[in-house]
């Protein structure tokens, strides 16, 4: 069977990177297998799933190159299909109608099957006993078993779990006598004709069954049925609930693998029963660990940019964000990091998805962006860098493009985003660059500072060629001649010609600036550093 996966977002506004990462993993999986990557917009929350919110999802996907096959399925168009599925479940006896408090409109509730063994993945794990609080009655009815657990302080803690969780249930009192045996009444109870209330119970004894499945990321996962409750699939106002829509649509779309965030693991235990009751084979599941911040907490807006749109606005390249998110919780198994979409798809397998949470590291992402940036065609880099210079008033029509190209080359290691350009390289394009006063204090406004600049002015003015190598040699010779420390001269020169304490390699920077600019800049700075 060919692979069919889907991204099933619930549009709520902005698109979180954790969400789009699920889309990326699905896309990579489908492209690797030559299968289909489908899009389902789970837009049943009409208030939050506005056209703008849907557009945000589509826009983010398009920007990241997450091409999908087939037209998107809008869940809101599937209401009739969901209600038909609910009707089928009612008819089969896999669901019942229930009104809270016994009056008003009825919801449709999915019943975890009493004969659960027929569902693939259900295993019997043995006899189990639970102590119950004697002050609360144990109530056994069609809607399940209500009892009170005993808290560490001895207080009753109400529980309501599915009937299917309690096969062979016996309710015992403190004296070990059986006060109620479910087998005696099961038919009436399942039919809703009888509810048993047992006062003064001390323990429940039953055969525990668990639902298990093999998660492609997390291994075998299991949940005891006595930890689950029957659940609403159509609300009393007639609206199908998430669980029903999600599963029914996966059946409709013929989904073979579900790759999604591990916040859905708990839902999966329920969904496996729904797939079975709807006559479908459950897909393979792969639950992705969360993306977290440095403290290990879910990564959120408070930790920095968290939405796809934030990164787009900041000037990140889509292929860099794609690459970075693909490596959040997955690795190709070798030491490759900077990869194209095609390389990622070729290498992608679920076995290599990591089972521990992936920590978001924005510094790493910026580095990766720089790597992708350097792989872009020169013409594009030129346009990207120039746009930022224009936006900050450093570039006007008619300026020298050849000079700009040299600057971009010199800055290649330092520019991680096009939007870094003005802040980091603006000084190349103006004679009115500001000085970092702290650096001025440290490097020039001190004994010997002015002397150093004078020595450099003299040494560099005499140079026949203004190349990095010649500049370096001349600086070292000047240091020796004036008995100055070469590294003091290097720092002094940098702040003098750029106003900053950090930047690209000094000699390359000087060569790019050229003899005339460097001369002018030394003069300008000397005027600010009077003789002591």
**Are residues 257 and 286 in contact, defined by beta-carbon separation less than 8 angstroms?**
yes
Binding ligand GLU (rule: CB under 6 A), the pick from 8, 20, 164, 229 is 8
Whole-angstrom distance, CA of residue 476 vs CA of residue 455: 11
Q: With binding defined as CB under 6 A, does residue 283 bind ligand GLU?
A: no
Q: Does 159 bind ligand GLU (CB under 6 A)?
A: no
Residue closer to ligand GLU by CB (options 16, 416) is: 16
Half-sphere exposure of 404 (CA within 13 A, CB side): 23
Contact with ligand GLU (CB under 6 A) among 3, 4, 5, 9: 9
Size of site (CB under 6 A) for ligand GLU:
7
Q: Which of 108, 210, 216, 246 binds ligand GLU (CB under 6 A)?
A: 246
Task: Select 12 or 207, whichever has its Cβ closest to ligand GLU.
Answer: 12
CA distance 250 to 303: 34
| Distance of closest approach, residue 328 Cβ to ligand GLU, in angstroms | 17
Piece of the chain touching ligand GLU by CB under 6 A; list 3-11, 191-199, 400-408, 471-479: 3-11
Give the tokens for residue 17: 């990177």
Q: How far is the CB of 188 from ligand GLU (least distance, A)?
A: 37
366 closest CA partner among 450, 304, 288: 304
- Kindly tell me which of 112 and 286 has the beta carbon lying closer to ligand GLU: 286
User: Site residues for ligand GLU, window 15-44 (CB under 6 A)?
Assistant: 42
Stretch that binds ligand GLU, among 5-13, 352-360, 391-399, 410-418 (CB under 6 A): 5-13
Asked whether 156 and 307 are in contact (CB, 8 A), the reply is: no
Contact 75, 43 (CB under 8 A): yes
CA gap 419, 305 in Å, rounded: 15
Residue pair 117/209 in contact (Cβ under 8 Å)? The answer is yes
Binding mask 328-367 for ligand GLU (x = CB under 6 A): ----------------------------------------
| Nearer CB in complex with ligand GLU: 246/525 | 246
Rounded Cα gap, residues 258 and 22, in angstroms = 10
Shortest Å distance, C-beta 23 to ligand GLU: 10
Task: Compute the distance between CA of residue 30 and CA of residue 33 in angstroms, rounded to an integer.
Answer: 5
Beta bridge partners of 220: 214
**Is the alpha carbon torsion for 505, 498, 362, 366 positive or negative?**
negative
Q: Which residues pair with 259 in a beta bridge?
A: 286
Residue nearest to ligand GLU (CB): 260
Q: What CA–CA distances, in Å, run from 165 to 25, 121, 208?
A: 35, 15, 7
**Nearest to residue 412, comparing CAs of 383, 382, 374?**
374
Q: Which is nearer to ligand GLU, 7 or 96 (by Cβ)?
A: 7
3-state secondary structure 115-159: CHHHCCCEEEEEEEEEECCCCCCEEEECCEEEEEEECCCCCEEEE
Q: Nearer to ligand GLU by C-beta: 56 or 512?
A: 56
Residues 6+ away with beta carbon under 8 Å from 480: none
Question: For residue 151, with 0-12 CB atoms within 10 Å meaning exposed, 13-18 middle and 19 or more buried, which class applies?
Answer: exposed
Q: Which is nearer to ligand GLU, 160 or 301 (CB)?
A: 301
Work out the number of other CB atoms within 10 angstroms of the CB of residue 39.
Answer: 23
Whole-number minimum distance, CB 390 to ligand GLU, in Å? 40
**Position among 260, 443, 450, 494 found at the interface with ligand GLU (CB under 6 A):** 260
**Cβ distance to ligand GLU smaller for residue 260 or 450:** 260
Question: CA of 301: how far to CAs of 16, 292, 297, in Å?
Answer: 9, 11, 12
Interface residues for ligand GLU in 40-99 (CB under 6 A)?
42
Draw the binding track, 444-483, toward ligand GLU (x: CB under 6 A; -: no contact): ----------------------------------------
Question: Both tokens of residue 400?
Answer: 């020298």
Rounded CA gap, 431 and 403, in Å? 15
Question: Quick one: 8 or 417, whose CB is closer to ligand GLU?
Answer: 8
Per rule CB under 6 A, is residue 10 in the interface with ligand GLU? yes
The nearest distance, CB 162 to ligand GLU, in angstroms, is: 22
**Residue 144 in the binding site for ligand GLU (CB under 6 A):** no
Span near ligand GLU by CB under 6 A; candidates 6-14, 233-241, 438-446, 472-480 = 6-14
Question: Which range touches ligand GLU (CB under 6 A), out of 7-15, 141-149, 202-210, 215-223?
Answer: 7-15
Residue 242 beta carbon to ligand GLU: minimum distance, rounded to whole angstroms? 7
Structure tokens at 33: 């297998």
| Region near ligand GLU per CB under 6 A, out of 4-12, 89-97, 228-236, 278-286 | 4-12
Residue 16 vs 372, nearer CB to ligand GLU: 16
Burial (CB < 10 A; 0-12, 13-18, 19+), residue 170, is middle
Give contact residues for ligand GLU (rule: CB under 6 A). Answer: 8-10, 42, 246, 260, 264
């Amino acid at each position: 069977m060919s692979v069919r996966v889907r991204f099933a977002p619930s549009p709520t506004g902005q698109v979180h990177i954790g969400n789009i990462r699920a889309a990326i993993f699905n896309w990579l999986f489908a492209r690797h297998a030559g299968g289909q990557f489908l899009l389902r917009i789970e837009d049943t929350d009409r208030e939050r799933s506005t056209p703008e919110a849907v557009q945000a999802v589509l826009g983010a996907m398009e920007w990241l190159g997450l091409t999908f096959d087939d037209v998107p399925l809008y869940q809101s168009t599937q209401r009739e299909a969901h209600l038909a599925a609910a009707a089928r479940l009612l008819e089969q006896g896999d669901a019942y109608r229930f009104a809270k408090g016994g009056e008003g409109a009825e919801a449709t509730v999915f019943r975890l099957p009493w004969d659960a063994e027929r569902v693939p993945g259900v295993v019997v794990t043995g006899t189990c006993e639970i102590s119950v609080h004697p002050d609360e009655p144990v109530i056994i009815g069609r809607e399940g078993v209500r009892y009170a657990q005993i808290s560490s302080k001895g207080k009753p803690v109400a529980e309501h779990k599915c009937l299917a969780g309690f096969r062979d249930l016996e309710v015992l009192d403190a004296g070990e006598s059986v006060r109620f045996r479910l087998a005696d009444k099961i038919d009436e109870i399942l039919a809703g004709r009888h509810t048993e209330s047992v006062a003064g119970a001390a323990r429940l004894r039953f055969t525990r069954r668990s639902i298990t499945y093999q998660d492609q990321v997390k291994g075998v996962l299991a949940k005891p049925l006595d930890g689950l409750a029957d659940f609403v699939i159509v609300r009393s106002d007639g609206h199908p609930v998430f669980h029903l829509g999600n599963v029914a649509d996966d059946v409709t779309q013929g989904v073979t693998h579900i790759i999604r965030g591990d916040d859905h693991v708990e839902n999966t235990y329920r969904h496996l029963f729904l797939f079975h009751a709807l006559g479908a084979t459950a897909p393979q599941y792969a639950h992705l660990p969360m993306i977290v911040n440095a403290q290990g907490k879910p990564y959120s807006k408070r930790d920095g940019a968290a939405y796809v749109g934030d990164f787009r606005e900041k000037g990140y390249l889509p292929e860099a964000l794609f690459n970075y998110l693909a490596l959040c919780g997955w690795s190709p198994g070798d030491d490759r990091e900077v990869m194209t979409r095609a390389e990622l798809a070729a290498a992608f397998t679920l076995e290599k998805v990591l089972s521990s949470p992936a920590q978001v590291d924005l510094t790493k992402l910026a580095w990766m962006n720089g790597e992708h940036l350097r792989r872009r065609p020169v013409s594009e880099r030129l346009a990207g860098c120039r746009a930022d210079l224009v936006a900050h008033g450093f570039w006007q029509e008619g300026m020298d493009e050849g000079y700009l190209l040299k600057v971009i080359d010199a800055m290649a290691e330092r520019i991680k985003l096009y939007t870094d350009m003005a802040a980091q390289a603006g000084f190349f394009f103006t004679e009115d660059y500001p000085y970092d006063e702290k650096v001025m204090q440290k490097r020039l406004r001190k004994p010997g500072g002015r002397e150093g600049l004078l020595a450099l002015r003299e040494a560099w003015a005499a140079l026949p060629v203004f190349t990095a190598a010649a500049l370096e040699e001349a600086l070292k010779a000047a240091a020796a001649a004036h008995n100055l420390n070469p590294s003091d001269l290097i720092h002094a020169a940098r702040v003098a010609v750029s106003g900053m304490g950090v930047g690209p390699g000094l000699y390359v920077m000087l060569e790019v600036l050229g003899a005339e600019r460097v001369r002018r800049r030394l003069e300008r700075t000397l005027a600010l550093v009077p003789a002591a």
